């Protein structure tokens, strides 16, 4: 009875046989996670590294998650959580590789945005304690589990990525999700780039890597 599948790795294709990977190959065993990336006051209006539209994203994510929690096997938040991230911080930042101090661990700005007070995520991961970390997949949960392990152990096959900023941490998180073989959608109305130009660049990169760019009202 127990067929040994020939599939290796984490393909999302239509292979037959039994796999232990992350694929939902045989008839729609989709398990989707909502990845809420870096929705923190530090990246919103009035924050240390404010992105215009950040507060609106926070409120939109909160509304969406409250209305559609049943779509998700898992809701995960990520936070930039810097203790001493070395050259990620600079007094003379170039806003490419170096930034003004932001997301400082233990400060109110680094907490989840107050709009998410009722989100009650299943898992919260933090990243960047001692080095730059754009992707949520560089983060770990309170038990020290990397995000990829969290999703794998929950049987997650698909992710929806939302949050701040589309051009940076959302982009990196989506690209890492795709690299892990997760079907990945980015909900454009629930994210915002640092600038429109960088947003366009990010969307092109995510689409080229296989992400589906959509909006929450199209789901
Ligand atoms: Zn950072």
Q: Is the residue at 131 inside a domain?
A: yes
Q: Is the residue at 213 inside a domain?
A: yes
Q: Is the residue at 129 inside a domain?
A: yes
What's the gap in Å between 168 CA and the centre of ligand 1? 10
Mean pLDDT estimate for the chain: 91
SS3 of 148, please? helix
Structural domain boundaries enclosing 87: 73-160+174-218
- Catalytic residue annotation: 38, 127, 169
What's the gap in Å between 152 CA and the centre of ligand 1? 26
Q: Give the Cα-Cα-Cα angle 76, 82, 85 (nearest 5 degrees).
A: 130
Q: Is the residue at 30 inside a domain?
A: no
Q: Is the residue at 36 inside a domain?
A: no
Helix (H) or strand (E) holding 212: strand 212-214
What's the gap in Å between 17 CA and the centre of ligand 1? 42
- Span 134-148, average pLDDT: 98
Q: Is the residue at 138 inside a domain?
A: yes
Residue 23 predicted with pLDDT over 80: no
Query: The domain spanning residue 147 has which CATH number?
Result: 3.40.50.850
Work out whether the CA dihedral 201, 183, 219, 31 comes out positive or negative: negative
Q: Is the residue at 41 inside a domain?
A: no
Which residue in the block uniquely carries the two structure tokens 């600079």?
Answer: 90
Q: Which two tokens stand for residue 77?
A: 């938040």
- Span 3-19, average pLDDT: 40
Domain count of the fold of the chain: 1
Task: Give pLDDT, residue 29.
Answer: 87
59-70: pLDDT as tens digits: 999 999 999 999
Predicted TM-score of the model (pTM): 0.88
What's the gap in Å between 128 CA and the centre of ligand 1? 7
Q: Is the residue at 88 inside a domain?
A: yes
Looking at the DSSP bridge assignments, the partners of residue 160 are 34, 185
Instruction: Confirm if 175 and 205 have CB atoms less than 8 A apart.
Output: yes
100-134: pLDDT as tens digits: 999 999 999 999 999 999 999 999 999 999 999 99
What's the gap in Å between 167 CA and the centre of ligand 1? 13
């Amino acid at each position: 009875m127990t067929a040994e599948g020939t599939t290796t790795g984490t393909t999302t294709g239509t292979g037959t046989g039994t796999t232990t990977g992350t694929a939902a190959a045989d008839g729609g065993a989709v398990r989707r996670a909502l990845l809420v990336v870096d929705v923190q006051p530090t990246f919103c209006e009035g924050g240390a590294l404010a992105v215009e539209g950040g507060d609106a994203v926070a409120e939109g994510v909160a509304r969406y998650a409250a209305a559609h929690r049943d779509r998700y096997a898992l809701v995960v938040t990520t936070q930039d959580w810097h203790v001493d991230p070395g050259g990620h911080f600079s007094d003379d930042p170039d806003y490419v590789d170096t930034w003004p101090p932001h997301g400082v661990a233990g400060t109110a700005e680094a907490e989840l945005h107050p709009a998410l007070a009722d989100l009650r995520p299943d898992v919260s991961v933090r990243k960047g304690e001692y080095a730059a970390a754009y992707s949520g997949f560089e983060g770990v949960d309170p038990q020290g589990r990397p995000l990829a392990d969290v999703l794998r152990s929950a049987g997650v096959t698909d992710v929806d990525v939302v949050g701040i900023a589309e051009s940076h941490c959302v982009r990196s998180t989506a690209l890492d999700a795709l690299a892990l073989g997760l079907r990945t959608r980015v909900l454009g109305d629930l994210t915002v780039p640092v600038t429109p130009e960088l947003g366009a660049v990010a969307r092109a990169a995510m689409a080229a890597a296989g992400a589906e760019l959509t909006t929450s009202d199209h789901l």
